[in-house]
Structure 1
Amino acid sequence: MSDTGAKLRGRIEPPTLVAIREAANLLRAGDIVGMPTETVYGLAADALNPDAVKKIFAAKGRPADHPLIVHLPSADHLPRWAASIPKDAVALARAFWPGPLTLILKRTSDVPIEVTGGQDTVGLRVPSHPIALAMLQVFDSGIAAPSANRFGRISPTTAVHVQEELGDRVAMIVDGGPCEVGIESTILDFSRDVPEILRPGAITADDIAHVIGRRPRVRGEAAPALVADNAPASPAPRVSGALAAHYAPRTPLRLVEPALLVEEAVTLAGEGSRVAVLARVVCNPQDSRLIWQTMPTESAAYAQELYASLRAMDALSADFILIEALPLDADWRAVADRLGRASVGAGVRDDPPS
């Protein structure tokens, strides 16, 4: 193999065995690489190397107290990372790994505090993307890999998105094609008495209940009667993607109820604004200042297209992005969560402060 240090940083490589081995070697050398997963592309580093992990925070502009998720080659690696593993967590790992479920567990002493944001917990998952799994198996240890974008911005779902975001901050990017799921994993906390979903994703509370026989709490929902015994819940650990402002375009973004969407878009265009619209309904506006993109009507397909669509809209130099507000049912919870956070953080043209 040729000297990887002489190669152009930030380059995109096809997912060959040679590229996968090179990526693993770069990780062993303490560098960072772009890695595809089924959710979004990750910015990968050796999770047991504190100096390498610090490079993730520097490249992203991410606060040091914001914990990272560690990706494992298989559930067999759990004991090295988790100090105690409840039986329900084991059952969920068997049911959903490899897949888009992150388990928050008490960490072992091996896990660097740089990974956990100084907490006594660690987020762990086994991704299902075949290229990610191949990289993990060649590397044979845990890889810390938050989304490969500047902190607070839209998560990348293609290799080109990573290159546009990070350039030569990353040693190389392994191209695994567009991400199949398209939004980040469900985060389920097992570090306290009652399991709680701290970030919604493709795996829902009902999916989890089907496996373990009880429905977890969901952050933002009222506590179930079974656990509402007037005792205050202990504070949840900090986790990725839980800040009010996240996943945000630089263009101001508004969520608009379906019945008002066309009227607001036409009004803004009539006032001279250039308006980009994402909606589940078809519209063929006559005003050239209106750019209308029709999104899928099924939640999983919508999620898969969401970030790429937001990036495309953000590149149009529009004055506003309007997005049709989504239903409140469980199927749409994860996508609605991302859009709500995107709307809070949108409109800042500079990189967010680190």
Structure 2
Amino acid sequence: MRVKATEENIKLAGKIIKEGGLVAFPTETVYGLGANALNPYAVAKIFEVKKRPTFDPLIVHISKIEWLEKLTTQVDEKALKLIEKFWPGPLTLVLPKSNIVPDIVTAGLPTVAIRMPSHNVALALIENAETPISAPSANPFGYISPTTADHVERMLGDKIDLILDGGKCPIGIESTVLSLIDEEPKILRPGGLPVEEIEKIIGKVKIQPSSEKILSPGQLKKHYSPKTPVRIFKSLDELSEINETENVGILLFKKNELKIKAKHIEVLSENGDLIEAAANLFSALHRLDDSGVSVIYAQAVTETGLGLAIMDRLRKASAPAEN
């Protein structure tokens, strides 16, 4: 069932979470598929519905700082500085977990990923549920993340208890995940908070490449993928090599004057604004995937600010399937 995110419906959604159900809800980044983070049986439903492997940990969403003390065993000075500056917002912190966090949430790791979303609907839902909420993106595992209730309804509508429609997600790309477990802070997933902003607060951070050991969501080499193959191109000159008879879709960073031969073209930002491009990325990929093209050519962007997160998503979308 899909409903508008009214006060009454948010209360209903909170009741569903309390009773062990699943609710899709908007955050400032993407739509999440939420369950009571402290109920392992409810969390197991997330993995079942998404067909998500259990080695991939989930992010725990909170609405009050008080929950941090209950969910973790240590919050250091760097974490406190980042929380003061960026919470609520698109920053997830990986910290040592306490015993109340079920192992299914953390994939058996001794750490837990926590964030406080800034979306009013998300915060109100967590308050009404009276519990932290585990919530990966509300889509089948590995597919393009949802940034509208339409995306969620099309992909999971008949499999979950409720969809709270709160409109389009303003940031449109998942949160930045930062591990503070080791002495050297590490970005495990670039996202909606640019790395440069984090470094202004705590100094230089390392960007961890995708690896065999999954320490946070979004670290698999192939992820965020449309069913249609994606190929990244750097120069518009490369488009001249496309055969006129090819059934091609093109994802452009910004508008240009070239006459491009393609069945379907999406432009992320008329003026080449990275914030606007990030907000439109997943919706554009959804439209291209639904257009019936046989291949999607995606234009590379500069890897500064949100460009780092955009390129992370495009590389994972274009990666070959893992055996």
After TM superposition, is the score higher than 0.5? yes
Aligned to 2:267: 294
Equivalent position of 1:144 in the other structure: 134
Q: What is the identity, as a one-letter code, of the residue corresponding to 1:251?
A: T
Deviation at 1:126, TM superposition (A): 0.3
Matches of 2:135 and 2:215 in 1, distance apart?
A: 16
Number of equivalent positions: 319
Q: 1:237 to 1:311 in 2, by over 3 A?
A: closer
Counterparts of 2:38 and 2:196 in 1: how far apart (Å)?
34
> In 1, Cα distance between the equivalents of 2:23 and 2:230?
31
Task: Spell out the pairing of 1:5-20 with structure 2 (5 A cutoff).
Answer: 11-20=1-10
Paired residue secondary structure (2:319): helix
2:69 paired residue number: 79
2:248 equivalent to 1:275: yes
1:328 and 1:87 mapped to 2: Cα distance?
29
Whichever residue aligns with residue 290 of structure 1, its letter is K
Aligned counterpart in structure 2 of residue 250 of structure 1, from 227, 232, 246? 227
Q: Residues 207-237 of structure 1, C-alpha deviation per residue, up to 9 Å, x if partnerless?
A: 112223x22111249xxxxxxxxxxxxx976
2:240 corresponding residue in structure 1: 263
Q: Counterparts of 1:37-186 in structure 2 under 5 Å? A: 37-186=27-176
**Alpha-carbon distance in structure 1 between the residues aligned to 2:287 and 2:125:** 29
Give me the whole-angstrom Cα distance separating, in 2, the residues matched to 1:342 and 1:192.
29
Query: Deviation per CA, 1:164-199, whole angstroms, max 9, x where unpaired?
Result: 111221101001100010000000001112111111
Distance 2:123 2:51 in 1: 27
Kindly state the Cα deviation for residue 343 of structure 1 after the two structures are TM-superposed: 0.7
In the aligned structure 1, how far is the partner of 2:199 from the partner of 2:169?
26
- What is aligned with 1:215? 204
Q: Which residue of 2 aligns with 1:349?
A: none
Structure exhibiting the larger radius of gyration computed from Cα positions: 1
Does the CA-based 8 Å contact 2:145-2:224 persist in structure 1? Answer: yes
Once residues 182 and 18 of structure 1 are traced to their aligned partners in structure 2, the CA distance between those partners, rounded to angstroms, is: 26
Amino acid at match of 1:274: N
Q: Distance in 2 between matches of 1:219 and 1:204?
A: 15
1:344–1:170 Cα change, 3 Å? same
Q: Aligned with 2:14: secondary structure?
A: helix
Query: How many Å apart are 1:94 and its aligned residue?
Result: 1.1
For residues 233-275 of structure 1, the C-alpha deviation after alignment (integer angstroms, 9 at most, x for no partner) is xx976110111100000011110122334213xx23x2x2211
How far 1:87 moved relative to its partner? 1.2
Q: Indicate conservation of the 8 Å contact 2:27/2:118, yes or no.
A: yes
1:203 aligns with 2:180: no
SS at match of 2:286: helix
CA contact (8 A) 1:283 1:292 kept: no
State the partner residue of 1:313. Answer: 288
Gap runs ≥5 in structure 2: none
User: Secondary structure of 1:124's partner?
Assistant: strand
**SS at 2:182's partner residue?**
coil
Unaligned runs of 5+ in 1: 1-10, 222-234, 347-351
CA distance in structure 2 between the aligned counterparts of 1:237 and 1:292, rounded to whole angstroms: 35
Equivalences for 1:338-349 in 2 at 5 Å? 338-344=313-319
Structure 1 contact 278–292 (Cα < 8 Å) conserved: yes
Question: What CA distance in whole angstroms lies between the structure 2 residues aligned with 1:204 and 1:66?
Answer: 23
SS in 2 for 1:263: helix
State the shift of 1:284 in Å. 6.5
Contact 1:200-1:337 within 8 A present in 2 as well: yes
Give the deviation of 1:326 after TM superposition: 1.4
Amino acid across the alignment from 2:298: I
CA gap 1:62/1:286 in 2 versus in 1, 3 angstroms: closer
| Distance 1:153-1:283 versus aligned 2 partners, 3 A rule | farther
**Conserved in 2, the CA contact under 8 Å of 1:37 and 1:129?**
yes
Q: Secondary structure at the match of 1:303?
A: helix
Aligned residue in 2 for 1:32? 22
Cα contact 2:264–2:291 (8 A) shared by 1:
no
Counterpart amino acid of 1:43? L
- Please identify, of 102-111 and 164-173, the stretch whose mean Cα deviation from structure 2 is larger: 164-173
Matched to 1:281, the amino acid is K
> Which SS does the other structure have where 2:216 is aligned?
coil
The whole-number CA distance in structure 1 between the counterparts of 2:260 and 2:296 is 18
SS in 2 for 1:168: coil
